[in-house]
Each structure stands twice: as C-alpha cells, then as structure tokens.
Copies of this chain bind each other. A is one copy, B any other.
Amino acid sequence: MTGRRRQGTGRITLDDVARVAEVSPITVSRALRSPEKVSAATRERVERAAAKVGYVPNRLAGALASNASRVVGFVAATLNNSIFGETIQAFIDVLDDAGFQLLVGASGYQAEREEALIREFLSHRVAGLALVGTTHTAGARRMLAAAGVPVVELWELADRPIDMVVGFDNRGAARAVTERLIERGCRRLVAAVSLIGDERRSETRLAGFRDAAAETGVAIAGEIRIEQPLLINESGARILDYIRSLDGVDGVFCTNEFMATGTLVRCQAAGIRVPDDIAIVGMGDTQIASVVPPGLTTIRFPDYEIGHTAAETLIERMAGRDFDTPSVRLDWNLVLRGTA
C-alpha cells in the first residue's frame, strides 16, 4: 500500500491536469487564471489537458488559499412576491457579468433571521453583502464591523449607513402621492399601512402621508395597519370595511400597490365609484397597478436601478476603491392614472 492516511475526493484536480500537460501545478493555475503570465504554447497545452480530463476547479480551495472569494451574499425579505424581483434580477445581472456568484437568503422580515443569515454568509467568506432595508440587529452590525466586508443597504436612505446605501426617499414619495389626493380635493384621508415583521419602510411612508396632511391642514380620518398586506382581495376588503366604519372618507393612501389595488377592486364590487366617491393612491408600480381600470395612481420605484447601482457600487468597493459618497439617492416618479 502507499501508506497514505487520507484519500482524495476522487475528482480531477489541478495536479491531474499538470500531469497530463507535463508542467507543474502552479503553471496550470497560472495558465487558467492569468493566461498572460504563461507562454502561448504552455497555455494551449494546459487548456487542452484541462478539457481532456474534464477539469472543474475547486473554488473552495482557491478561495481558502487566496483569501478572496467571488461570492456575494444577498439578504432579501421574501422571494415569493415581485416587489424585489427587479432589484435582485438587476443585481445578479451585473454581478454575473463581473464573475460573481450569489448566495441568497430570505429573512422573512425578521431582523433576527437576517442576523443569522449574515453570520452564515460571513462564514462562507463572501466578498460583499447586500441587505434590503436599514433595520438590523446590534449583533449584525457588530459582526459586519468586525468582518470589514463591503456592505450595501438597499431601498431606503440612512443617516448612518453600515457602509454604503442605495435607495430613495420613501417619505418624500409618500408625501407626494398623498398631495395628489389633496390636490384632487380629498379632505378626509385614510392611510393603510402594511405591517410585516420588523419592516420599517411602511412607517417611513406613513410619516410622509402625515407630512402632507399636516402641511395642508387636511384631516386624517384614520390609519389602519394591515397584517397580510400582500393579499389583494383580503387586504382590500379589510380596508373597505374600515373606511365604511368612518364618516365621509374621500381619499385612501396605501403604503403598497397590493392594498391599493385591493381597495380599488373591493370598492368597484361594492358600487363605490373610484375616483369620484373615493380616490385611491398606492406606492409601487408592478404590472398589477395598471391592469385594473381605471389604473392606479402610484409611485414608481427605481427598483431595477437600485439593484444595478448597488451591484456596481459593491463591485467597486470589493475592488478596493473608496468613495466620498457612499450613499446613492435615486429618483422615484409619480405615475398618474385613473384612481386619483
């Protein structure tokens, strides 16, 4: 017997390629990673040998040896709704082009779960990290600081970002769309606010709604929290019930497009005219907002742009560049349709 104490994985390694190409392992490594450091003849022999034996590099070993991985972590809230779809698609598109892989986790809007995912991603030695939102546990902040990994927070602005932020002014956008209600003549407003786990964007948006009301002296008839804010029909039914329990409501602001569309649909089913009897505005402009006549007046988020910019910013930082402006503020748009 050979006396070896441990057996390999049985897979083809760099050494196998080296043997076939009749060069040393390090030359194979160089030929594959930085072809320019190797003569054309050697390069070709190595490539031929690698193809012949079906070599698949082991990035675990590579990352361990070089202390540099090409994997980035993305902590989303959930993956089963389309809110973050454009963002994550844009993010992965840019990263993929730059040769990075994506480790994805879903926090379920729970800061504790986010912390656990961050810990897990750090132990995989990710080169960078993207987090949706700016609500994080103290433990998460501590780990990130200790690890010194580039981090980009998404979808909000932050006074004191962990590292970099790419987002937009949720409060200002909410204010603007509420002002639209008021301009149309609405005088008794209701706000429907989504409530999921530790998510705080809806509170920021509610603040914008209140800004608009306070500024114009218009009455807030009431505010309602919705716990299943992604279910169109259910949330709409609850909001309509609430409106009917109040007097003379003529305008509804919703912190997302699902609740807004639900309210629209339930109103129509109940014979309430939109926007004549009640005007409705939402936030978010996925296709759902445009399919139900007369179309939802809402805020178009820079969702794709957030993902794109976040990825580019992260890549820059991972490449070692520093920034004067680690905070990118993107624009939202007011989309006027029939509901307000």
A308 to chain B, nearest CB (A): 12
Contact present for B125 and A60 (CB under 8 Å)? yes
Contact present for A261 and B291 (CB under 8 Å)? yes
Contact present for B71 and A79 (CB under 8 Å)? no
Counting CB contacts under 8 A, is A290 at the interface?
yes
Given contacts A58-B125, A101-B120, A123-B58, contact A80 B85 (CB under 8 A): yes
A271-317 interface with B by 8 A CB criterion: 287-288, 290-293
Contact present for A89 and B80 (CB under 8 Å)? yes
Counting CB contacts under 8 A, is A238 at the interface?
no
Counting CB contacts under 8 A, is A69 at the interface?
yes
Instruction: In the complex, identify which listed stretch (A103-111, A159-167, A193-201, A330-338) lies at the interface while the others stay far away.
Output: A103-111
- A78: chain B residues within 8 A (beta carbon): 89
Contact present for A80 and B82 (CB under 8 Å)? yes
- A88: chain B residues within 8 A (beta carbon): 79-80
Counting CB contacts under 8 A, is A96 at the interface?
yes
Question: Complex: how many Å from CA A274 to CA B69?
Answer: 56
- A288: chain B residues within 8 A (beta carbon): 287-288, 291
Contact present for B290 and A233 (CB under 8 Å)? yes
Contact present for B105 and A57 (CB under 8 Å)? no
Question: Complex: how many Å from CA A83 to CA B272?
Answer: 32
Counting CB contacts under 8 A, is A119 at the interface?
yes
A197 to chain B, nearest CB (A): 15
A98-127 interface with B by 8 A CB criterion: 101-106, 119-125
Q: List the 5 closest A-B pairs by CB distance, nearest first.
A: A80-B89, A80-B85, A82-B82, A104-B104, A79-B89
A54-B142, A101-B103 are known; give 7 further A-B pairs, CB within 8 A: A59-B123, A79-B85, A79-B89, A104-B104, A261-B291, A269-B293, A292-B292
